[in-house]
Every structure is written in structure tokens, then in C-alpha cells.
Structure 1
């Protein structure tokens, strides 16, 4: 069996219990060495084969998986965060499907959750934003025309941007062109949940300056929206004493 496992956002103790168990049982671990905390490899048992996919092609990764399956070994493919976001897992799974090989997925804590924790944020505040757009700035890898930053910015919702720290000048132009005001709150969170985590609140028009000041060029998330500063939100109806729910009767009933 091959298990695709989410390593979590960085901190070793933020992997799931199931993911940790798979690591301890694995005969082969293929981990995304450019982003996964190498401390997680300490869970590997003696004799476990460990491969760093940062130095491998898709074909080489699949070759290791096939060899492991032929030898009746258990493989963990360890991806950063939750592998369903920018994990490049579908292309691996499609090949495994073609070859009739069994696999499953073990979800992980995404770094966008870790970034919110770094700033004690709630991404969805009543009367401020009830939607979170997770996307990235177009760079060497294109994005569909309908998913350009400028198009998403028109919604004014909370936005979390992966893989965009090296493209901040372009990002700012597109956010402003799409409709965000220049003083819209924003934040940069570097290596969320890692020991070296850094988090800075700014505005859209000071994003570039903030990144330069703190020498942040990669491995960071960009957050945009009024939820960053928790301003002017309405109290949740769920815990309002006047609001009736399935479990209690409100005073206004």
C-alpha cells in the first residue's frame, strides 16, 4: 500500500496521529525535502529507505513506488501541509491507477491554517467575509484566465496566497486593479508553525516594503482582507442569547 500523507504546516507535532503512525510503520518514505520538516523522519523505523523528492522527477518517484510494491513494502509519500493543496498528487495517483496499484490519502494541517494561528485570525467573520479564496500569483506556471488575481480580487473576500512571495510587486498591482483598496489589511507569514516563524501585519500597499524589510523572499503565505485586523465584525448568531438553535431556545423566541 502507498499512503499519501500530509506532513502538516511545519511543526513536527502538527502531523496527524494517523500520519505519524504511517511514518513509524513505513518501509519506504519519499518526502518533499524542500518543504517538509526533516524532524518528521525521526519517526522512521530502522532500515526504512528514505528518498528526498526535491531531487527526483515524477518518473523517479513512481519508480521507487513500483519497486516498493513489488517487494511488498509499505510506502509513505510525505507531502507538506495537506497534499490536496499544491501537492502535485493527482499526477502520481493517475499513474498508480493505470498500473493498478493501491493507495490512499491521509490529510494534514495546511499551512493556511498555520498562518491563521500565527496571527490568531478567523478567516470568516460575520459581515466582513464569509469566503476564503486560496490561490497563487501566476508565475512560470500559468493559471486559468478566469482565475487571475484581478478577477478574484473583485469579490473583496479573504484571500490566502501560496507561492507568491517572490512576485509581490505583480501581486499588489493585480490586487489593486481588481478592486481592493490600497489600505486593505494584509499580512505576511513566514514558515508558519516552524520555530523560525515570523508574522507581520501590513496593508496591500506596504506588502513589498514589509517583505523587503524582513528579507522574506520565499516560504511564506500572503493574507489579504479586513479579517486580518478583525475590524467591525458582527457577533456570531450561533452564540447570541436571543438566537434559537436545535439545542437551546433563544430569549427572542
Structure 2
């Protein structure tokens, strides 16, 4: 059996319980060394074969997998975050299927979730954004023409942009050309959940300058959208004037003070 395991966003304790158990029983681990925290490998048993796929081609990775499978070994292919995002796992799965080798996927916590935690942000705020676009800039590896940053920017949804830290000036230009104002809130989250995590809040217009000032050149996510500026509407789900399948409304909507008004009043009293 071959397991594709999501390593989580970086912190050693943010791998899933299942993922950790698979590492603890693995005979071979092939991990994405450019992004996976090597500290996760400490739980591997003595004698486990460990390979860093950052130095390997697909053919070399599969050669080791197929060899270990023939030797009846338990194999873990350890990918960063969740394997379904920029993990290049489909090509590996297709080869395994062609060879008649069984595999399963153990999901992980994606780095875009780690970035939200670092920012203290909710990507889907009522009245502001109910969609999240996960994408990247076209670089040495192209993206489909219909999925350009510019075309996605026209939707004004929350955007989480991977693999683009080295092209921030071009990214700003594309976001602005697509419809974002240059002063739209943005953030650069470097190594979310790692000990060296760094969060830099900025705007769409000064992404490149912010990264340069903070010496961030790679391993960062870019978050863009009005969800970062603090304005939103209260959720209906927990509103006392809103009925659901599980409870009835308990008051009139006009009798419920605005939460943000209450917070601002509290702050004013503290200031006094």
C-alpha cells in the first residue's frame, strides 16, 4: 500500500493523527523536502528509508516507490499541506493505477488554512466575500488562459495566491488591471505555522515593496481581499432573530444591537 499524506502547513503538531500514525509505521518515506518540515520525520521508525523528492524527478520517485512495493514495504509519500493542492499527485496515481498498485490519500491541513489562522481572518465574511479563489501566477509553468490572475480579480472574491512570491510586482499589476484598487488590503504570510512565521499586512499596490522590506523571497502565500479590512455583516446562522432547523428566532431583529457597535462602545469606555 502507498499512502499520499498531507504534512500540514508546517508545524510538527499540525499533521493529522492518521498522518502521524502512518509515518510511525512507514518502511519508506519520500517527502517534499523544499516545503515539508523535516521535523516530522522524527517519528519515523528506525531503519525507515527516507528520500527528499526535491532532488528527484518523477521517474526517480516512482522507481523507489515501485521497488519498495515489490519488497512489500509500507510507503508514505509526504506532501506539503494537503496533497490535492499543487501536489502533483495525479501523475503519480496514474502510474500506480497502471501498475495495479493500491494507494490511498490521507488529507492534511493546507497552508492556506494556516495563513488564515496566522492572520486571524475568515475568508468568507457575510456581505464581503463568500468565495475563495486559490490560484497562482503564470511563470515557468503556465496556467490556463481562462484562469489568469486578472480574470479572477474581476470577481472581487477573496484570493489566496500560491507560488508567486518571486513575481509580486507583476502580481500587483495583474490584480489592479483585473479590478482591485491599489489600496485593497493584502497580506504576505511567510511560512504559516512554522517557528519563523512572519505576517506582513500591506495593500495590493505595495506587495513587492513589503516583501523586499521584510526579506521574503519564497515560501509565502499572498492573501488579497476586503475580508482583511474589518468590515462585514453579522452572520444569520447565529442571529437570535433568525430561525433555523434547530432553534426558533427568540426576538425581533430591531431589538438586537449591532455587535460592532457594542465593541466600539466598549472600547470608548476603556479609553475614557
1:86 aligns with 2:111: no
Query: Does 1:99 pair with 2:104?
Result: no
* SS at 2:105 equivalent: strand
Aligned to 2:208: 208
- What TM-score, normalized to structure 1? 0.98
Residues of 2 paired with 1:167 and 1:104: CA distance? 35
2:55 alignment partner in structure 1: 55
- Any idea what SS the aligned residue of 1:133 has? strand
**What is the alpha-carbon distance in structure 1 between the residues aligned to residue 249 and residue 118 of structure 2?**
35
Question: How far apart are residue 229 of structure 1 and its match?
Answer: 2.1
Q: Give a deviation string over 1:93-134, Cα, whole Å, max 9, x none.
A: 001111000000000000000000001000000000000000
**Separation in structure 1 between the aligned mates of residue 218 and residue 103 of structure 2, nearest angstrom:** 32
The aligned residue for residue 237 of structure 1 is: 236
SS of equivalent residue, structure 1 residue 212: helix
Larger radius of gyration: 2
Q: Which residue of 1 aligns with 2:221?
A: 221
* Equivalent in the alignment of 2:266: none
Number of aligned residue pairs: give it: 252
Query: What does residue 139 of structure 1 align with?
Result: 139
Q: How does 1:33-72 map to 2 (within 5 A)?
A: 33-72=33-72
Aligned counterpart, 1:77: 77
SS at match of 1:51: strand
Question: Which is further off, 200-209 or 12-21?
Answer: 200-209
Alpha-carbon RMSD: 0.8
Gaps of 5+ in 2: 253-272
Runs of 4 or more consecutive aligned structure 1 residues displaced over 2 Å after TM superposition? none
Structure 1: give runs of 5+ residues left out of the alignment: none
Quick one: distance in 1 between partners of 2:165 and 2:70? 41
Q: TM-score with structure 2 length normalisation?
A: 0.92
Task: Compute the displacement of 1:251 (Å).
Answer: 2.8
Deviation at 1:222, TM superposition (A): 0.2
Match of 1:188 in 2: 188
Give the whole-Å Cα distance in 2 for the aligned partners of 1:209 and 1:54.
Answer: 29
Matched, 1:21 2:28: no
Residue in structure 2 matched with residue 250 of structure 1 by the alignment: 249
